[in-house]
Structure 1
Amino acid sequence: MKDALDELAAARRAMGKGRVPAGEAYTIEIRRRYDAQIDDVWDALTSPERLRRWLKPVTGELRPGGKFELDGGEHGEILRCEPPRLLKVSWLFGPEADDWPGTSEVEVRLAPGPAEDTEFELIHAAVVEEPLFPTYGPGAGGVGWDLRLLALAQLLAGGEPADHEAIEKSPEAREFIRRSAASWGEAHLAAGGDPEHVAAAVEATTKFYAP
């Protein structure tokens, strides 16, 4: 459990505003360092075999302009791909999302660190309506990314990430989720969120991920 909480503490989180083709968007931002070379991190982000191990199985045309689909419903288009530093995709969920192209975009930026490590930045910009953002705040997507990036850290460290469903149902995961939701609450407060709204959103997010 300590290793998982250390990974959680290694990230810096922020919430902001941005734009996608559909209009104004909320952004969640995660920055951290991985003890792996940039080419290794890039491969973990773009190799179908490795994506399956920390994110989800992926199919499609994995090239700029190509479309992809994850085993779980998420799908989109590869908007930019500049190895090994930048990957940007549209990120939609469910068939109804096709009516709203660009409602959600994920961008990952990598930079080589000073000790053969890698600086990692993920920005997820989404146009979010009721009940997601008002109810859950940035933790709606942020906790999910924290869980996935924990699995990525395990993969880059040479291990085999645990099964996602098993992780999320374990007692240790409940503590990880609780602390992740609280961390996103801190980011929400730092962005000017009303303290009562933030507290309610943190509670709702925790119950959603760990009912």
Structure 2
Amino acid sequence: MDLINELNQAHRELLDGKRKTIVLRRRYDAEVEDVWEACTDAERLGRWFLPVSGDLRLGGTYQLENNAGGEILRCEPPRLFKVTWLFGPEPGFSEVEVRLSAEDDGTLLELRHEAEVPPEMWSQFGPGAVGVGWDLSLLGLALHLSGGARVDENTFHQTAEGRSFLTASSAAWGQAFQAAGAPADDAGAAVAATTAFYAPEGDGQ
């Protein structure tokens, strides 16, 4: 699989207000029901995303292993789910919504992550702080749906193709940042900080 081509399949957008919203849209060559199950079935989620536990139904709660947890706010199979996305001791407002729709014998997935972001974090990293992570997730879903091998996020940044993917993802979010009105210098600085975080120099092979 050409990972850069996979990255370029997605459209990225930033809605930059008091709360920050990143939007990702991409098409998968799979039926809506298959993509829905991959995103909501605990066993399948563990194969491409993260192990998940909890009461996975409307009004229930979930916990991703060593990551976010929260409440299931909406669940409308096989088209839409929305959850709170809480991580850390003082997470603030954070919600993720996923919508699925049929498109050209496949499925269009739209992911929206809306959050209150501390100003110091936003000024340093911009949307790439979470955007790169979601790009990795959408790549993982593409690999899962096509029967490919799972990406090992612990070592991905140490490989040449992994570093290329992460660097290109960071740059793509810099473009979305600038398109939303950020000055070019601010967007460039955010790209540099995000890239250094996900693919630090000297940590590759």
TM-score computed with the length of structure 1 as normaliser: 0.91
**Partner amino acid for 1:205?**
T
Trace 1:58-97 onto structure 2 (pairs within 5 A).
Answer: 58-97=52-91
Q: Deviations over 1:48-100 (max 9, x none)?
A: 11111221100011011111111113111100000000010000102333xx4
* Distance in 1 between residues matched to 2:118 and 2:89, nearest whole Å: 17
> What percent identity do the matched residue pairs reach?
51
Trace 1:1-211 onto structure 2 (pairs within 5 A).
Answer: 3-17=2-16, 24-97=18-91, 100=92, 103-115=93-105, 117-211=106-200
Do the aligned partners of 1:167 and 1:173 also contact (CA within 8 Å) in 2? Answer: yes
Q: Deviations over 1:2-54 (max 9, x none)?
A: 61111101000000046xxxxx4101100110000000000000011111122
Do the aligned partners of 2:19 and 2:117 also contact (CA within 8 Å) in 1? Answer: yes
Do the aligned partners of 1:79 and 1:90 also contact (CA within 8 Å) in 2? Answer: yes
Aligned residues: 200
Q: 1:164: how far off?
A: 2.1
> 5+ residue gaps in structure 1?
19-23
* Distance in 2 between residues matched to 1:29 and 1:149, nearest whole Å: 12
Do the aligned partners of 2:61 and 2:70 also contact (CA within 8 Å) in 1? Answer: yes
Do the aligned partners of 1:11 and 1:31 also contact (CA within 8 Å) in 2? Answer: yes
Do the aligned partners of 2:16 and 2:180 also contact (CA within 8 Å) in 1? Answer: no
Do the aligned partners of 1:5 and 1:176 also contact (CA within 8 Å) in 2? Answer: yes
Q: Secondary structure at the match of 2:36?
A: helix
Do the aligned partners of 1:152 and 1:161 also contact (CA within 8 Å) in 2? Answer: no
* Distance in 2 between residues matched to 1:146 and 1:183, nearest whole Å: 10
**Partner amino acid for 1:108?**
V
Could you list the structure 1 runs, at least 4 aligned residues long, displaced by more than 3 angstroms after superposition: none
**Partner amino acid for 1:3?**
D
* Distance in 2 between residues matched to 1:43 and 1:152, nearest whole Å: 11
> 5+ residue gaps in structure 2?
201-205
Do the aligned partners of 1:37 and 1:112 also contact (CA within 8 Å) in 2? Answer: yes
Query: Aligned in 2, Cα 1:193/1:17: closer, same or farther, shift over 3 Å?
Result: closer
